Structure 1
Amino acid sequence: MTTSGKKLKSLAEKEGVSNRVSFITSCSTAERNELLSSCLCVLYTPTDEHFGIVPLEAMAAYKPVIACNSGGPVETVKSGETGYLCEPSPEDFSSAMAKFVEDPELARRMGSEARKHVVESFSAKTFGEKLNQYLVDVVSSPKED
């Protein structure tokens, strides 16, 4: 476990929540799918992260995402529709989490929107259609001498 992981584990013990928190650094696909099926939402905490597949995997599994308002999630998460984009602070993340805890139906609705968004914008079919259109546009555009 990394130094930051050890600090988080220690903090969870200090705060008396270690029996309700699991720290998983790497998991199999089956384990990931089980975790996604049983959670209310997914937290994605990296700041200035590149594209990031985790938010897309979560949304494909009908889960809303709470992520930092920077990097890849700005392109993939529709704040207020498929999850929430937050400043990287405990206050912002806990406020977003509280909305889902207080209203699990909100998490379900946003999860459904998240799934729809991923299928419409990031599926292999959509990618193929966009690539095909790009190629058609390139081939049919006038040639410059």
Structure 2
Amino acid sequence: MAAQKPVIACNSGGPVETVEHEVTGFLCDPTPSDFSKAMFKLLSDNELAVRMGREACHHVSQTFSTKKFGDQLNHYVLDSYHHRFE
């Protein structure tokens, strides 16, 4: 996703939390048919592939950057600290 490429992944586990279906890529059932349909969509529509790739890169930078993780960790630490001393 950071390389501006849409993702084709199984509709389970980690990808469900990271891939936005039909926005940053495709979440598929783990079957050759589902994966081939998603691949065909991207291969037959270059504009769609480019648009999804841009969205994927933007999503990664906004959601999984070092700054974002640091901000979330800081929030959890401060929240825990404040709850401990209430």
TM bucket normalised to smaller = over 0.9
Q: Normalising by the residue count of structure 2, what TM-score does the alignment of the two structures yield? A: 0.93
Provide the alpha-carbon RMSD of the alignment. 1.2
Q: Which residue of 1 aligns with 2:16?
A: 74
The number of residue pairs the alignment matches comes to 86
1:90 aligns with 2:25: no
Segments of structure 1 that go 5 or more residues without pairing to the other structure are 1-58
Higher helix share: 2
- Report Cα offsets for 1:57-93 as digits up to 9, x if no partner: xx01110000011111111111111000001111100
Q: What is the letter of the counterpart of residue 74 of structure 1?
A: V
Q: Which residue of 2 aligns with 1:119?
A: 61
Task: Find the partner of 1:134 among 66, 72, 76.
Answer: 76
Alignment partners' CA distance in 1, 2:67 and 2:50:
25
Matched residue SS, 2:27: strand
Alignment partners' CA distance in 1, 2:84 and 2:10:
43
Alignment partners' CA distance in 1, 2:12 and 2:24:
16
Alignment of 1:26-105 (within 5 A): 59-105=1-47
Q: Normalising by the residue count of structure 1, what TM-score does the alignment of the two structures yield? A: 0.57
Larger radius of gyration: 1
Query: Once superposed, which parts of structure 1, at least 4 consecutive aligned residues long, lie more than 4 Å away?
Result: none
Measure how far apart 1:143 and its partner are. 3.3
Alignment partners' CA distance in 2, 1:130 and 1:86:
30
Segments of structure 2 that go 5 or more residues without pairing to the other structure are none
Matched residue SS, 1:84: strand
Between the aligned residues of both structures, percent identity stands at 59
